[in-house]
């Protein structure tokens, strides 16, 4: 029988959906994996085990958000039922239980959106007045209601028209004008209402007296001459579009031209409001000048509820019917929103990564990548999860991490409803786009990134009791929900209050940086098999890598489905602990220690090429690599010797 060497030089395509496993004609096939579990894809093409999750503390069900003032003043906020917890450098430094936070309920956590400018974070939800969460000091954070001014109006229940018995005289034909009447016909309730004439229309903005109001001309007047009684009308019935009666905006952001933009008003879901320039809570549309506020509703045959207002390359409006954007005009003139895709958005806030905006669809099943096309002056919306679709479900949260000092990859983390996490390695300039999957003994519920730090809220069962933990990626840890302890004097029995959160739970152990088996934590104590100076105690984290069935032809015929087997496997590894190689029903554990190593010494690492002989027989000839003990892992290349 002939033996063919099948190399896999790169894994940049990552884990692909099962339907790709027989698509050998695709360009991506030879760089893809059937399984890439608990590994991260590096831009250079290799894969490595993801960092372990170091436990910070037990938390309640909540929603995380970063609060970044500058490079040194960075905070993690956890929003939970009626409260906000503030963390700095992994330490909880403040908790607010202000009565205004009673509006934040567990049921609303997934619907709340945020916008931050300097020391203030705005909290949006259509059912309560927008909240301001302001930082005055590390131990002084305050909650207040945002005070919107000059809110635009709309006749929700229709308009009542009357002909007051008075003649009126405008001060000008256009712009901001005063209207004086020769009898007392005005009242303070007329602010926000309209005066209509045969030629022209004025929105009343200020009440001065029964005979005088100030307003903005929305339709130019014929002239500034007196208008007789009976020749003008007073239109009433207009209400503010944001109020305790009509509801509040569901989303907001700060735009590049220094405005607060809100959208998805409860009673005007298709409306976008932009504040006056540099006056974030002033929504006076004035006379439509370049710095005045903007009131625009999306057109079309259906109501497009604005779900997210996002500042990307341009201002983006993600709606229930698709994506709209507001073009950037070089001359500073105002633009109307334009539709650019027909893919409805879901509740998960969009994320900006590598010059693009990523947003989840309304079903939480697809992520779209929005890239602005400078030539066509519109966005292209591509399906970013097409090759990974089987592993994306009911998306709960997204966050991105840029390049770090030790890793130049850019990752998008996607928390699924089943408790797994999809991780996209993205670098558009190099045409890199590959997914892997994170799992844990429990369920990932939320993710947040601050600088290079990746935080998760994870729901776990510890000794049969449901708990939630705040955990963080830590390159020095290889287990989950883990803690490290050290001692100047080597110990065999380790007792510490830091271990009590794992009481009664089976855990895995590492001592002096090597696996030491498993045990059960008993009243904050674990018993090692020998004395060590430092330990890591935590939950098992499995690494699993499996290639696609090799593409083979013989005498011009494809050999898919033909009986064959793996004769040998060569792996190029870096600083990797003990691994298990499986093909079909056969399994081999290559020795880590080599001839000449001290007997009884600590295990070595696998570095460089290793070769194992295996005798499997099936129709797929795949290789699966796993680890029986939590340890480090990094794989550069696979060569399979396939016997046909």
Same domain membership, residue 612 and residue 572: yes
Tokens encoding 208 = 């001065």
- Output Rg (C-alpha) for the chain, integer angstroms: 31
| pLDDT digit string, tens, across residues 188-226 | 999 999 999 988 999 999 999 999 999 989 888 988 889
Same domain membership, residue 495 and residue 578: no
Same domain membership, residue 529 and residue 581: no
| pLDDT digit string, tens, across residues 223-273 | 888 999 989 999 999 999 999 999 999 999 999 999 999 999 999 999 999
Same domain membership, residue 555 and residue 524: no
Same domain membership, residue 639 and residue 556: yes
Range of the domain at 527: 479-539
Rounded CA separation 37/19 (Å): 18
In 311-359, which ranges are continuous DSSP H helix? none
pLDDT of residue 142: 97
Same domain membership, residue 504 and residue 583: no
Burial of residue 538, with CB atoms counted within 10 A of its CB: 0-12 exposed, 13-18 middle, 19 or more buried: buried
Tell the residue number behind the tokens 């990134």, with chain if given. Answer: 449
Pair 74, 68: CB distance under 8 Å:
yes
pLDDT of residue 20: 86
Cα dist. 506→86, 244, 474, 495, 501 in Å? Answer: 32, 52, 21, 16, 12
Instruction: Identify which of 86, 82, 50 has the alpha carbon closest to the alpha carbon of residue 65.
Output: 86
Asked if residue 329 belongs to a domain, the reply is no
Asked if residue 314 belongs to a domain, the reply is no
Rounded CA separation 31/493 (Å): 46
Instruction: Identify which of 297, 291, 289, 284 has the alpha carbon closest to the alpha carbon of residue 255.
Output: 291
pLDDT of residue 594: 63
Same domain membership, residue 555 and residue 620: yes
Given a cut of 50, the residues of the chain with pLDDT beneath it are: 555-556
Residue 40 CB neighbour total at 10 angstroms: 22
Asked if residue 137 belongs to a domain, the reply is no
Same domain membership, residue 534 and residue 563: no
Same domain membership, residue 562 and residue 487: no
Angle at 227 between CA 222 and CA 232, to 5 degrees: 90
Asked if residue 168 belongs to a domain, the reply is yes
Of 194, 210, 236, which marks where a domain is finished? 236
Tokens encoding 595 = 């001839």
Same domain membership, residue 528 and residue 487: yes
Longest dimension (CA), the chain: 110
Pair 210, 246: CB distance under 8 Å:
no
Rounded CA separation 43/425 (Å): 7
Beta-bridge partners for 411: 401, 425
Of 209, 236, 263, which marks where a domain is finished? 236
Q: How far is CA 52 from the centre of its chain?
A: 21
Same domain membership, residue 605 and residue 558: yes
pLDDT of residue 599: 54
Asked if residue 136 belongs to a domain, the reply is no
Asked if residue 452 belongs to a domain, the reply is no
CATH code, 229? 2.40.10
Of 190, 205, 236, which marks where a domain is finished? 236
pLDDT of residue 335: 75
Q: How far is CA 421 from the centre of its chain?
A: 12
Asked if residue 573 belongs to a domain, the reply is yes
Pair 103, 131: CB distance under 8 Å:
yes
Tell the residue number behind the tokens 């009308």, with chain if given. Answer: 233
Same domain membership, residue 500 and residue 535: yes
The number of domains in the chain is 3
Residues 6 or more apart whose CB falls under 8 angstroms from that of 490 comprise: 531, 532, 533
> What 3-state DSSP class applies to 191?
coil
Asked if residue 219 belongs to a domain, the reply is yes
């Amino acid at each position: 029988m002939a033996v063919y060497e099948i190399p896999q030089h790169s894994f940049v395509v990552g884990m692909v959906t099962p339907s790709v496993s027989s698509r050998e004609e695709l360009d991506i096939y030879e760089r893809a994996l059937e399984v890439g579990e608990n590994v991260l894809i590096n831009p250079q093409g290799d894969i490595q085990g993801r960092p372990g999750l170091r436990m910070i503390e037990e938390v309640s069900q909540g929603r995380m958000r970063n609060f970044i003032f500058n490079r040194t003043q960075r905070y993690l906020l956890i929003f939970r039922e009626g409260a906000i917890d503030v963390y700095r450098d992994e330490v909880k430094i403040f908790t607010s239980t202000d009565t205004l936070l009673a509006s934040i309920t567990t049921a609303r956590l997934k619907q709340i959106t945020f916008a931050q400018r300097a020391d203030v974070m705005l909290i949006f939800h259509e059912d309560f007045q927008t909240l301001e969460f302001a930082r005055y000091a590390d131990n002084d954070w305050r909650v207040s209601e945002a005070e919107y001014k000059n809110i635009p109006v709309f006749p929700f229940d229709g308009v009542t028209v009357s002909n007051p018995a008075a003649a009126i005289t405008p001060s000008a034909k256009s712009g901001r004008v005063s209207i004086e009447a020769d009898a007392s016909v005005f009242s303070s309730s007329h602010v926000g209402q309209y005066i209509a004439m045969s030629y022209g229309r004025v929105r009343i903005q200020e009440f001065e007296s029964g005979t005088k109001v100030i307003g903005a001309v929305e339709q130019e007047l014929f002239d500034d001459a007196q208008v007789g009684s009976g020749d003008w009308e007073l239109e009433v019935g207009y209400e503010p579009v944001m109020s305790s009666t009509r509801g509040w905006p569901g989303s907001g952001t700060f735009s590049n031209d220094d405005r607060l933009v809100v959208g998805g008003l409860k009673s005007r879901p298709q409306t976008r409001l932009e504040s006056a320039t540099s006056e974030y809570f002033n929504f006076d549309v004035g006379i439509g000048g370049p710095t005045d506020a903007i009131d625009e509703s999306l057109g079309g045959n259906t109501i497009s509820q604005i779900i997210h207002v996002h500042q990307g390359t341009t201002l983006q409006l993600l709606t229930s019917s698709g994506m709209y954007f507001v073009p950037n005009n070089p001359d500073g003139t105002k633009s109307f929103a334009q539709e650019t895709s027909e893919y409805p958005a879901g509740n998960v806030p969009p994320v900006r990564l590598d010059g693009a905006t990523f947003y989840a669809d309304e079903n939480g099943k697809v992520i779209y990548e929005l890239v602005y096309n400078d030539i066509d002056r519109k966005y292209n919306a591509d399906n970013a999860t097409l090759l990974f679709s089987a592993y994306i479900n009911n998306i709960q949260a997204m966050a991105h991490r840029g390049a770090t000092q030790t890793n130049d990859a850019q990752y998008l983390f996607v928390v699924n409803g089943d408790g797994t996490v999809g991780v996209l390695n993205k670098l558009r300039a190099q045409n890199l786009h590959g997914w892997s999957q994170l799992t844990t003994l429990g369920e990932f519920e939320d993710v947040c990134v601050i600088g290079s730090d990746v935080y998760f809220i994870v729901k776990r069962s510890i000794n049969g009791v449901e708990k939630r933990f705040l955990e963080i990626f830590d390159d020095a840890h290889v287990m989950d929900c883990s803690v490290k302890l050290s001692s100047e004097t080597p110990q065999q029995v380790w007792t510490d209050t830091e271990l009590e959160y794992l009481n009664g739970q089976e855990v895995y152990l590492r001592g002096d940086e090597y696996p030491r088996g498993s045990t059960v934590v008993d009243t904050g104590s674990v018993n090692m098999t020998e004395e060590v100076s430092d330990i890591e105690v935590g939950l098992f984290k499995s690494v699993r890598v499996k290639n696609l069935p090799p593409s083979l032809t013989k005498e011009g015929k494809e050999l898919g489905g033909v009986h064959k087997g793996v004769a040998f496997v060569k792996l190029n590894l870096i600083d990797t602990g003990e691994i298990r190689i499986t093909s079909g029903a056969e399994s081999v554990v290559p020795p880590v220690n080599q001839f000449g190593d001290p007997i009884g010494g600590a295990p070595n690492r696998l570095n460089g090429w290793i070769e194992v002989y295996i005798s499997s027989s099936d129709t797929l000839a795949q290789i699966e690599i796993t680890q029986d003990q939590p340890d480090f892992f990094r794989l550069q290349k696979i060569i399979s010797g396939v016997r046909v």
